[in-house]
Amino acid sequence: MKFNTAAIHIGQEADRETGAVIPPVYLTSTFAQLAPGETRGYDYTRSGNPAFDRLGATLAHLEQARYATVFGSGMAAVTAVISTLKAGDHVVAEENIYGCSYRIYDQVFKKFGVTIGYVDLSDPANHAEIERQHPALVWIESPTNPLLKIIDIEAVAEAAHAAGTALLVDNTFASPYFQNPLALGADLSLSSTTKYINGHSDCLGGVVCTNSEAWNEKMVFAQKAIGLNPSPFDCWLISRGVKTLGIRMEKHFENALKVAEFLEGLDCTATVRYPFLPSHPQYALAKKQMRGGSGIVTALFDLPFAQVVELVSNLKLFTLAESLGGIESLICHPASMTHASIPKAEREAVGITDGLVRFSVGIEDAGDLIADLQTSLNPL
């Protein structure tokens, strides 16, 4: 099946009992057993629910994976993976990591003896650090949040495997429509399904996909033992959202490229980053490993901080809010919002300065979005 067909049909067969074309959501915490220990496949929703299995089947197929475990949020998925580590384990991570991922390593798992080293893995010369640091896990995002660095997944996977370790790729920004990390050699593909996969900004979710039976067993255990399971209703919403993922991503891509080209032509922008802009430092790599540029644009404005605040606060169609990947356009100031948990010196060292603005470009009319930007920029 092609992507759009699979997104609608895989895992979403009509209900066997009633014939309902859209499978029902089982809003139950527990399931009647036939005899002690004898079930119909489910006993307690923290340990499994039909909605989990349906969504997992869909996402595994779209990610080209054998297995997919769904979680209550993107950070629940992150927690599930890190929970497999033990005291003394070390992680090598791309230096431009999501703020909440940084925070959970620094303020939670650090207390349990898990350490992390940050490396600019967009530079192939630094891939040797993986062997040198002997990590238990390599952790990257591509594109990264919010700088949109593109990491060579295939090359980092080779370096990780040569060092005897596994590679996790946070695939949230690209979505499985534009990128399949497992096909490029990654061991784990993690996404916040809150974002593009659901696409409607109305629920939380996360997923970890893998071809490894051992990793799958670890994820299923974490879902149950730590209580990282999602809500059945949220899984039902995400299953509904994923059916239109392909057509939404095409529109996000089309609009984001137009917005990026507009921003790049302004005198007040020092740099504009979008994976499919020819000016992007890893443009050739993005074109090689991604099928489209997705919907996130980052711009560094050459404006005083007060004017940057005025810009992000005065837009009408770009709502000032955290998160991304919904049908509506959002704007975010990473230094004071999504990445505020990273110390200022460390933020600025990797390029997250006060002039940096992240746009999550929705599926509205691109002309309206650009007009909104023009209106907000005119007084500045």
Which amino acids are annotated catalytic?
A: 46, 98, 170, 195
Q: What is the 3-state secondary structure (H, E, C) of the chain?
A: CCHHHHHHHCCCCCCCCCCCCCCCCCCCCECCCCECCECCCCCEHHHCCHHHHHHHHHHHHHCCCCEEEEECCHHHHHHHHHCCCCCCCEEEEECCCCHHHHHHHHHCHHHHCCEEEEECCCCHHHHHHHHHHCCCEEEEECCCCCCCCCCCHHHHHHHHHHCCCEEEEECCCCHHHHCCHHHHCCCEEEEECCCCCCCCCCCCCEEEEECCHHHHHHHHHHHHHCCCCCCHHHHHHHHHHHCCHHHHHHHHHHHHHHHHHHHHCCCCEEEEECCCCCCCCCHHHHHHHCCCCCCEEEEEECCCHHHHHHHHHHCCCCEECCCCCCCCCEEECCCCCCCCCCCHHHHHHCCCCCCEEEEECCCCCHHHHHHHHHHHHCCC
